[in-house]
Every structure is written in C-alpha cells, then in structure tokens.
Amino acid sequence: MTRIFMMDADQPEPQAHKLRDIFVDGAIKPAFIAESIAKHATRTDIGGHEIFLGQVRADQQQGTNTHQRTRAIEYTAYRDMANEQMTLIREEAFARWPQMTCLHVHHSLGVINAGELCFMVFASAPHRQQAREAVAFVTDEVKKRLPIFGKEIFAEGGHVWKENQ
C-alpha cells in the first residue's frame, strides 16, 4: 500500500511520498499556522490536531561571569540531506500511526529573534492519541536527525553554536 502524504504541507489533499522542502525563510508566522489549521476544515474524517511549535528562547549563558543573553538564533541547514531525512521520518511516522490523516513540518532558516517561532510539527488524525504520539516522535527525530545548525547571537555581541541534547 502506498501511503499518502500532502505535497505542500498546507494542502490537505493527499499525495504520494515525495521529497519536499520543509524550510521557510524567516520566522513561522502565527497567521500561517492559523491558515494551516483552517485548510483542514474540509477533511471531516479528522477528529483531532496536535501541534508542536518551537520558539526561540532568550537563554542566559551559564557558567561564566558574563551575562550574555540570546537575542536571536541564525539557522542554517544541509538542506538536501535534511529534506531526505525528513522524508524517512515521515515514512516511519506513517508506518507507526497509519491512521494519521496528515503531517506538516516546517523549520525556519535565517535569523529568528527570541520570541519568534522557528519550528512547527502539525499532525491530524481521526483520534487524538495518534496525532499526539506522532507529533512527539517527529519532533524528537527532527531534533536528532536533521542537519540543522543554530548560531545563538548575543544581545551584547558575540555568539555560540547551539547543540541539541
């Protein structure tokens, strides 16, 4: 059976598995998320949506006598590899939660200010459990497996490179 996915993460019409670009330039705007939700109104087989949104945090650097605070994160990526990895993660997610109706993932590139959104994982399913579990899985796998790099830029000048735990 060929699993069906959406081509453009915002169109709820099904498409075959294919490579797509999850990256957007700049922050993910709340209006874009609202539109994504609205586009699912035609899919009346959906019973629940689960959304994870990553926001840039104004971290305070620990361990030194400096008081540097993150003003923004500049994201870069090995885009081709990241999109290929995302296709694999998507296949794994649909294999584990075959009733999931659709899955949308977006990640920002460029300078994203503290307080802005940089990452979205959005799953829909007939019942909440599948959507909830799939979002948790996909969020963790993206953080682990996608070659995305983050330069934390300090308000006071200077930077450090972010590393996922």
Q: Which residues bind other proteins (CB under 8 A)?
A: 54, 73, 75-78, 80-82, 84, 107, 118-119, 139, 142-151, 161-164
- Whole-angstrom distance, CA of residue 102 vs CA of residue 31: 20
Token pair in block for residue 4:
């069906």
Give the residue with the Cβ less far from other proteins, 73 or 102. Answer: 73
Give the residue with the Cβ less far from other proteins, 133 or 140. Answer: 140
CB of 158 to other proteins, least distance (A): 12
CB of 41 to other proteins, least distance (A): 28
Q: Are 40 and 27 in contact (CB under 8 A)?
A: no
The label of the residue with tokens 């953080």 reads 143
Query: Three-class SS of residue 59?
Result: coil
CA distances from 86 to 33, 51, 78, 141 (A): 20, 17, 12, 9
Nearest one of 136, 137, 128, 50 to 88, comparing CA atoms: 137
CB of 30 to other proteins, least distance (A): 18
Query: Three-class SS of residue 41?
Result: helix
Query: Three-class SS of residue 30?
Result: helix
Give the residue with the Cβ less far from other proteins, 11 or 84. Answer: 84
Give the residue with the Cβ less far from other proteins, 52 or 126. Answer: 52
Q: Tell me the β-bridge partners of 55.
A: 117
CB of 121 to other proteins, least distance (A): 9
Give the residue with the Cβ less far from other proteins, 85 or 101. Answer: 85
CB of 1 to other proteins, least distance (A): 26
